[in-house]
Amino acid sequence: MARVVVDVPLAHLDRPFDYAVPEKLADTVQAGCRVRVRFSGQLVDGFVLELGETTGFTGKLMPLAHVPSGEPVLTPQVARLLRTIADRYAGTMSDVLRLAVPPRRAAAEKKPTPTPESLPGPPDPAGFARYQAGPALLDALAEGRPARAVWTALPGEDWPTRLVELCRAALSGRRGALVVVPDGKDLDRLEVAAARLLPEHSYTVLRAGDSPEKRYRRFLAASRGAAQVVLGTRAAMFAPVRDLGLVVVWDDGDDLHSDEHAPYPHARDVLVQRAWLDNCAAVVAATARTAEAALLVESGWAHELVADRAVLRSAAPRVQAL
Is residue 279 within 8 Å of residue 314, measured between CB atoms?
Answer: no
Residue 208 confidence class, pLDDT cut points 50, 70, 90: confident
Contact 218, 204 (CB under 8 A): yes
pLDDT in tens, 265-320: 999 999 999 999 999 999 999 999 999 999 999 999 999 999 999 999 999 998 89
In this prediction, residues 218-228 reach a mean pLDDT of 96
Report the alpha-carbon angle 292-126-271, nearest 5: 25
Give the per-residue pLDDT at 63. 94
Given a contact cutoff of 8 angstroms between Cβ atoms, the answer to whether 76 and 58 are in contact is: no
Contact 2, 26 (CB under 8 A): no
pLDDT(58) > 80: no
What's the pLDDT tens digit per position in 81-136? 999 999 999 999 999 999 999 999 999 999 999 999 888 999 999 999 999 999 99
Closest by Cα among 41, 46, 37, 40 to 15? 46
Q: What is the pLDDT of residue 172?
A: 96
Q: Specify the amino acid at residue 62.
A: M
For residue 11, count other CB atoms closer than 10 A to its CB: 11
Q: What is the pLDDT of residue 283?
A: 98
35 φ/ψ angles, rounded to the nearest 5 degrees: -140, 165
DSSP string, 148-179: EEEEEPPTT--HHHHHHHHHHHHHHTT-EEEE
Which pLDDT value is given to residue 143? Answer: 96
User: Please, which pLDDT band fits residue 56 given cuts at 50, 70 and 90?
Assistant: confident
Residue closest to 48 by CA, chosen among 14, 27, 24, 71? 71
9 falls in which pLDDT band (50, 70, 90)?
A: confident
Sheet containing 176-180: order of strands:
203-206, 229-232, 176-180, 244-250, 281-286, 148-152, 303-305
pLDDT of residue 129: 96
Separation between Cα atoms, residue 22 and residue 3, nearest integer Å: 14
Instruction: For residue 95, give the nearest of 8, 208, 219, 207 by alpha carbon.
Output: 8
Sign of the C-alpha dihedral, residues 167, 168, 169, 171?
positive
The rounded distance, in Å, linking the Cα atoms of 10 and 235 is 23
Q: What are phi and psi of 146, to 5 degrees?
A: -80, 70
For a pLDDT cut of 70, what percent of the chain falls above it? Answer: 100
Per-residue pLDDT of 124-173, as tens digits, reads: 999 999 999 999 999 999 999 999 999 999 999 999 999 999 999 999 99
Q: For residue 73, which of 215, 260, 263, 234 has the smallest C-alpha distance?
A: 215
Distance CA 183, CA 181 (A): 6
Gap between the Cα atoms of 44 and 38, Å rounded: 6
Q: What is the pLDDT of residue 131?
A: 97
Tell which residue, 160, 166, 78, has the closest CA to residue 122: 166
Determine the pLDDT at residue 57: 83
pLDDT beyond 90 at 33: yes
Specify the length of the chain in residues: 322
Alpha carbon distances (Å) from 193 to 44, 134, 179:
43, 19, 13
Alpha helices in 173-298 (DSSP H): 184-197, 212-223, 267-278, 291-298
- Average pLDDT estimate for 200-210: 94
Q: What is the pLDDT of residues 225-236, one digit of tens each?
A: 999 999 999 999
* Residue 55: band (very low, low, confident or very high) from pLDDT cuts 50, 70, 90: confident
Give 172-188 pLDDT, tens digit per residue: 999 999 999 999 999 99
Q: Decide the pairing of beta strands 229-232 and 203-206.
A: parallel
